[in-house]
Structure 1
């Protein structure tokens, strides 16, 4: 009996390895226009679990949120049970024409908070449109690789890159042309998923 108890004590931690990753983002993360099971967070969690990962993805997405909004709530997002974080913000900054330097400062503050709590991060960027000019586009898109290098995060340059360059997006996007539908989200998850797996490796 003592031997059995010893073996049980040794293997018990193996059943307590669930990792929790907070997905801090905007409507793309929150799952705007979709039922819960179809959204990014739920599809990502299902994709990871199907590949054998014991993980919870906590939905910290707020529709309409900017990088400033993310900065304002990062401290309570990084609660004691959070092991890692996906940061996917910036789309609403671009839609509002917010200066790249402002977005950079906000994202820098978010990553500072994660570093202070020793929480590994996957930073997810966005593709800025060209209607504000090439300098704005370049300055905004460069925020993500620059900060990823500064804070040694994992990086996925563009949340929607899995959908870019396709001739026909009608079957992958919602009617607003901004948010992917369930099928589009599935493609996004397939592309981002391996980098979330890499994030999980940093949590061990």
Structure 2
């Protein structure tokens, strides 16, 4: 899930500019705000903007009869630590539910699962302090990384969801990651069809979380 300084800066500027262009009354009229805090999968790496996960998620929610504004707060290359560092910037006031979709780059870099868990724990705590609902999206560690590491990494998400009482979506790439027809050539990022599948599976979970905020 690659990152370059220029891309990171431009994405953050784009996020900030988009948020600034949407006044509070306009957001309220369009429905509750869902922010997806994530990495390149959220950001839509390798995809046209219209095919990125946040856009697809908004479409799927509308198909379910749920009106919501979905904000893209994904930055390619971000680890859980980087997401924590920009949390207050990226998850703007007015967010009803935040989908926390971080950890994939921690896994790729072989970071200590204890560190990943600590970062995600702090993210969840700060969101709850702000009275923002949380959907925690996990990412599945393949056994090739080592059974012990995979076990410890995969346990992060279930244990945090249980500890904090937040909604869990166990694996963001479920149903996509091992299907070449739904993945880009790098085998890491979903293609446009894959993003659509993720959005379709994630939408009911987000809709439930939004309902719980009502």
Q: TM-score, normalised by structure 1?
A: 0.87
Q: What does residue 42 of structure 2 align with?
A: 29
Displacement, 1:16?
3.8
Q: What does residue 18 of structure 2 align with?
A: none
Paired residues of 2:73 and 2:91 also in contact (CA < 8 A): no
Q: Is residue 48 of structure 2 the alignment partner of residue 71 of structure 1?
A: no
Unpaired segments of 5 or more residues in structure 1?
A: 1-14
Q: What does residue 101 of structure 1 align with?
A: 114
* CA distance in 1: counterparts of 2:35 and 2:162, whole angstroms: 21
Q: What does residue 213 of structure 2 align with?
A: 203
Moved over 3 A (4+): none
Q: Is residue 155 of structure 2 the alignment partner of residue 145 of structure 1?
A: no
In the TM superposition, what whole-angstrom CA distance separates every residue of 1:59-98 from its partner, at most 9, and x where no partner exists?
A: 0000010000110011222322211100000000010010
SS at structure 2 position matched to 1:162? coil
Paired residues of 2:113 and 2:153 also in contact (CA < 8 A): yes
Q: TM-score, normalised by structure 2?
A: 0.84
* CA distance in 2: counterparts of 1:122 and 1:44, whole angstroms: 14
Q: What does residue 160 of structure 1 align with?
A: 173
Unpaired segments of 5 or more residues in structure 2?
A: 1-27
Work out which of the two has the higher radius of gyration on C-alpha atoms and give 1 or 2.
Answer: 1
RMSD: 1.4
